[in-house]
Structure 1
């Protein structure tokens, strides 16, 4: 168990639906070992503290950088089916979707840790002469049908009670229904610097922080799991955010 530097629980000015506990998990980035620990902790928490309804949400960036992207996708496929988990699209998934469509995106994906993802699917550079087209073809062959289905299930945003779950954030002062999907998975400063209340209290990742960052209008739970070894999961019940 890792020690959180943040308080074990915090009260916020928002509320989950009655008799409902929401679990939200930050950016995983290929750390299947940490994801396995977190899902075990969620299951254990539900056993110890039964509640009528549970909602399990993953905030995106499942792949890249860490070593076990393929296994993370396997684990998420199970949670989607068994727990009806909500999986949001992160910018890294969007870039991988781009590469699945167009080999030319490889160079950009490499800068984001895409080679680690390809390696986890057994697609490694064999020699210096392989082209983006070669890697694209081999990745399409190696990419399982279950993972295609996970990608088809990805959402850009999800609301529950007074809480909104997105990967990166929202553009302030734009109604939730009118948000640009690119903002939801890429935005940083305009959202992070905004101190006004939004339509809902926003739970997000995308921008790494040393420990969960709770503000009056949002909480960031991307604790850079791939390099810190800390994958953050919160449990929201009523107006209380508990660190699992």
Structure 2
């Protein structure tokens, strides 16, 4: 059996390969939840560019797994960097539950309390939308300020977000999928929010699932999925997994 090499900046280990592969002459870079850490994102993009310079390949695909905003200090710059990457590198950006809430707030201020529980204040602050001197303003007032401060290019970026993408034998999605349900019948709510029903399932899905959403201390590789959300906003570690043929590496 071909060996899959699992590598990180700290360690490397050989384990039996899973029977999954990328398309021929294709390398996939998958990046976990960013959550406002523009500094880590910029460093990761530089490492991807350097890796491609050292090891050119006919087809390179960058896939960002969602949750670009909230919690960390610079959500605005994260979206700016990703929007540029989407245009220049044809990067694929998936929608996370945090983008969903931000988009929802841009349409409907009544969901502010739900968004605030997940780190909205850091996102608002990155767009220079503050509480001001009057204490907490109304949801309507914050909504107006945010809509005025939110660049049109960022709104266009949000329209480009995808719910999932398949490449070769891999499915990339933010949170996961509901086991045993065909991909074209999956509910958006599950793609963005699912946890236990997916994480605890031994089901062999039709594709090997690469996801984020649920923070782990280190990339969590199972027989049917790989979780690369390493809580960048608090750990300082933004994980980038590289898939090429039957190998997985960590950049």
> C-alpha separation between the residues in 1 aligned to 2:66 and 2:151?
19
> C-alpha separation between the residues in 2 aligned to 1:124 and 1:203?
36
Match of 1:124 in 2: 130
- Out of 73, 88, 91, which is 1:85 matched to? 91
> C-alpha separation between the residues in 1 aligned to 2:69 and 2:249?
26
Match of 1:163 in 2: 170
Alpha-carbon shift at residue 130 of structure 1 (Å): 1.6
- Out of 188, 192, 201, which is 2:199 matched to? 192
Contact 1:210–1:223 (8 Å) recurs in 2: yes
Alpha carbons of structure 1 residues 120 and 10: separation in structure 2 relative to 1, 3 Å: farther
> CA deviation digits over 1:46-101, x for unaligned, max 9?
00001010110000000000000000000001100000100000000000011001
Alpha carbons of structure 1 residues 14 and 104: separation in structure 2 relative to 1, 3 Å: same
Alpha carbons of structure 1 residues 230 and 8: separation in structure 2 relative to 1, 3 Å: farther
**TM-score with structure 2 length normalisation?**
0.94
> C-alpha separation between the residues in 2 aligned to 1:200 and 1:213?
17
- Which blocks of at least 5 consecutive residues in structure 1 are unaligned? none
> C-alpha separation between the residues in 2 aligned to 1:211 and 1:123?
34
Structure 1 segment 74-223 matched on structure 2, within 5 A: 74-126=80-132, 127-128=134-135, 130-223=137-230
Counting matched residue pairs gives 243
> C-alpha separation between the residues in 2 aligned to 1:74 and 1:56?
16
Alpha-carbon shift at residue 195 of structure 1 (Å): 1.2
Q: 3-state DSSP class of the match of 1:128? A: coil
Matched, 1:59 2:72: no
> CA deviation digits over 1:207-244, x for unaligned, max 9?
00000000001000000000000000011000111100
Contact 1:9–1:241 (8 Å) recurs in 2: no
Match of 1:48 in 2: 54
Q: CA RMSD in A?
A: 1.4
Q: 3-state DSSP class of the match of 1:14? A: coil
Alpha-carbon shift at residue 10 of structure 1 (Å): 7.6
> C-alpha separation between the residues in 2 aligned to 1:9 and 1:206?
25
Match of 1:31 in 2: 37
